[in-house]
Structure 1
Amino acid sequence: MTQHRERNKNLGLAELIAIALGGMVGGGIFTILGISVSLIGNLTPIAIIIGGLIASLAAYSYVKLGLYYKDEGATYSFFKRTYPSSNFSASAIGWFIIFGYISTLALYAYTFSSYAISSTDFADNIWVRKSIAIGVIAIFTFINIWSVNGMGKIEDLMVYTKLIVLTIISVVLINHGTMDFGSFVENMSLDLKNSNAFSILIVASLTFVAYEGFQLVINAVNEMTNPQRNIPRAIYSAIALAVLIYVVISVGALFAIPTEEIIKNKEFALASGAGNILGSLGTNLVIFGAILATSSAISGTVFGSSRQMSVIAKDGYFPNILSKRKNNSPKNAIIAMALISSILILIGGLELILEFGSVTFLLVSLLMAIANFKIRQKTNSSTFLTVLSILGLSIGGILILYYELTNNWQQMIAIIIIYILLAVGAWKFSRS
């Protein structure tokens, strides 16, 4: 999507919404669906809506800071300029945002591989899945280094095509589902009795990673028409559309696929369910949609995050070698992103990657809300909404950590270790 912005110097509202949706509607929905249903069943659409509200709270501070600074560096630049005297703050936000992107890159690649082999004999082979995930990252790394312009030309096509395919999948599942609306509401009522508010809020917090990407709009501030008007309209519209798309897909899946099957095949539940309804045609349609969605998201993440890594390295908060560019392409940063995300895939499973990504973007968004609160008079922000954003994002992060502590403390320790290493790295480079 960044290449799209480079080629268009006069971006209007429609293009900006497409940029945000291209970043958001990637592999997230395919990943969170199975995990969410395994935790709260038919209440999944409610959790998705709440997750969208949390994303909207996060977006409030991004919009206000974006309108005030009008800096294409977005997250990193906002925090650095708000706290100009704190090297550690700038370093920490740089490390957190980059490793957040690394986790989403790993998540998209993991989802790509899960769907790519979902109809083969290797569907349950974890090492084949991880190998393909690393392989697809390598492919897009090579393409980004070799021909950025070539990828840029098909990025818009991939984004709009995947939205059409996802819509078709949802309509097909709803129309061919064995459940009617009354039964669905009845099942929701039963799940509501068996679940508690904490479970719903935990899943809502986990879904936050599926809304990561709306920040890409701010990266285009130098190439858009009327930023003051179009930044908030584009971001809030894109989040609303993403919520609608995710809800329709989840409802379609719950209408057509038994919950036990979604839970059993949670990493490729849509493909399995569509296959039972429409045979190989349905399976292939879902696989195509998932591969297309994750491919465009992988490409955009590799492209955009590597450039942000290069900028941070140029400021001295990453090794200087990562700032080097050739023909304006940060090849060393691209390779570093690919290598680190591959390591994350090797050491962690889908849930670890998902939860680390969700916590990271909740944390980064919380820091943005705190930064906005500090200069709320300058950004003309509502104190109530800014404080509400801080509280909402804080609760979301705490709930994920609580879930980890009570359900998989070993995984929580792994996440904490990752954060300790990130903090140490940020501290070390901030001192030098």
Structure 2
Amino acid sequence: MSQQKLSSHRKRNKSLGLLELIAIALGGMVGGGIFTILGVSVAMVGNITPVAIITGGILAAMAAYSYVKLGLYYKDEGATYAFFKRTYPKSPFSASVIGWFVIFGYISTLALYAYTFSSYAISSTDFADNIWIRKGIAIAVIGVFTGINLWSVNGMGKLEDIMVYTKLVILTIISVVLINSGDTSFGTFLSNMAQDAESAKVMDVLIVASITFVAYEGFQLVINAVNEMSNPQKNIPRAIYSAITLAIIIYVIIAIGALFAIPTKDIIENKEFALAAGAGDVLGSLGSNIVIAGALLATSSAISGTVFGSSRQLAAIAEDGFFPKLLAKRKNKVPQNATIGMAAVACVLILIGGLQLILEFGSVTFLLVSLLMAFANFKIRKETKSSSFLTISAITGLIVGGVLILYYELTNNWKQMAAIIALYLLLAAGAYFYAKKHKKQIDDTN
């Protein structure tokens, strides 16, 4: 998403063009998402996973419509939080709750990427199934990138550039090699898809599409650079929709490559590191190592970028009084307390939850935040010149997606659903407390 007031903390010595903006969005989206969702999706809908991924991408594009319209109207690098605060200026609770949901959505994705990193890091070792070693490595990698962010912003930026472009090359290589190396012909693959389509329910596909929504989180980062881009009126929509389209293509190609080359049962059995486990059998140790390298680079760049961006967002919200003021403090322009605080909470989430809980909490959170953006856009649709039909369609799709995830949890793991609801109640309580505190401070000032 973004960092309100970040303009005072950045040098603007160049304009970002369309290609750079697409790279920013892809860097945020193509993180650990595909490595995380592939096994979960195949376990639920088998060979029609590409259809579910495309459906999730369409849902993301629908959600992006309101971000684009609000971004063009407000031109505020504060993005999600700033949009909602400015659309509902007389409601401190609205601003507070969106801030809390956005931040904890980022925390969940940070935990998700770190968990995926650790799963792939030990996938070829004897510790692959040891959950506590996996969690320990996940916490350690968050610590490493937190330290890098605290140590040097310039160093982090250079490292991020290297990781983003390298991972895209490796992901492309992985896809091509898997498709060419698989024993499955295209005709057989289509036949398998048809068989799975007959047995799968439409609701299952929609549930998977909703769960995998988190893999498209990141397109909002384009708006974060509104003050540093050339021709935002044209480049914001072009960059966001192009990036979502490219992400869909990348995810689908990787999924097809995996389904061509790796037996479905292997993907399901090793769903937390499905690509690495299967690629080793098909491509040998070299192929497995390439997949692992791609996963580690993808998740590393996502962890680094999430720590950097979301900590500044947290500091900005804290400056407005909706989080403890301690989190707003900066040293050498770096929000140290916010960075450390977010990393610590992500580590707690890793300790108390598994991959499925983190994945679903992240997807529900970003569905909810996107829904709130759609409501905000609908409220001022005349000012943003938005289509009522498209905005209402997005609202409907996002509501259905959120309900389907909760339905899936209720019917398959009600305790996990209870944990998700409990987390939201805690977030709402925290948002309410700071909203009241913020209002009292304003009243006392007046």
Unaligned runs of 5+ in 1: none
CA distance in 2, matches of 1:193, 1:372: 39
- The reply to whether residue 353 of structure 1 matches residue 327 of structure 2 is no
How far is the alpha carbon of 1:6 from its aligned partner? 5.1
Number of aligned residue pairs: give it. 432
* Farther off after superposition, 156-165 or 212-221: 156-165
How far is the alpha carbon of 1:8 from its aligned partner? 5.5
CA distance in 2, matches of 1:277, 1:419: 43
- The reply to whether residue 30 of structure 1 matches residue 35 of structure 2 is yes
* Farther off after superposition, 276-285 or 355-364: 276-285
Match of 1:408 among 405, 413, 434: 413
- The reply to whether residue 177 of structure 1 matches residue 182 of structure 2 is yes
| DSSP 3-state at the match of 1:214 | coil
Match of 1:392 among 391, 397, 403: 397
Deviations 1:152-210 (A, max 9, x none): 11222211110110010000100000100111111111111111000000000011000
2:12 touches 2:228 (CA, 8 Å); kept in 1?
Answer: no
Deviations 1:348-398 (A, max 9, x none): 000000000000000000000000000000000000000001000100000
- Correspondence for 2:349: 344
CA distance in 1, matches of 2:282, 2:44: 24
| DSSP 3-state at the match of 1:268 | helix
CA distance in 2, matches of 1:314, 1:15: 30
How far is the alpha carbon of 1:328 from its aligned partner? 0.7
CA distance in 1, matches of 2:11, 2:177: 37
Match of 1:68 among 66, 73, 76: 73
- The reply to whether residue 377 of structure 1 matches residue 382 of structure 2 is yes
* Farther off after superposition, 156-165 or 111-120: 156-165
TM-score (norm 1): 0.99
Match of 2:216 among 183, 191, 211: 211
Within 5 Å, give how 1:212-361 maps onto structure 2. 212-361=217-366
- Correspondence for 1:202: 207
RMSD (Å), alpha carbons: 1.3
| DSSP 3-state at the match of 1:279 | helix
Within 5 Å, give how 1:79-158 maps onto structure 2. 79-158=84-163
Unaligned runs of 5+ in 2: 438-446
| DSSP 3-state at the match of 1:267 | helix
CA distance in 1, matches of 2:162, 2:223: 21
* Farther off after superposition, 155-164 or 324-333: 155-164
2:222 touches 2:236 (CA, 8 Å); kept in 1?
Answer: yes
| DSSP 3-state at the match of 2:272 | coil
Match of 2:45 among 40, 43, 55: 40
Deviations 1:284-342 (A, max 9, x none): 10010000000000000000000000000000000000000011100000000100000
2:378 touches 2:388 (CA, 8 Å); kept in 1?
Answer: yes
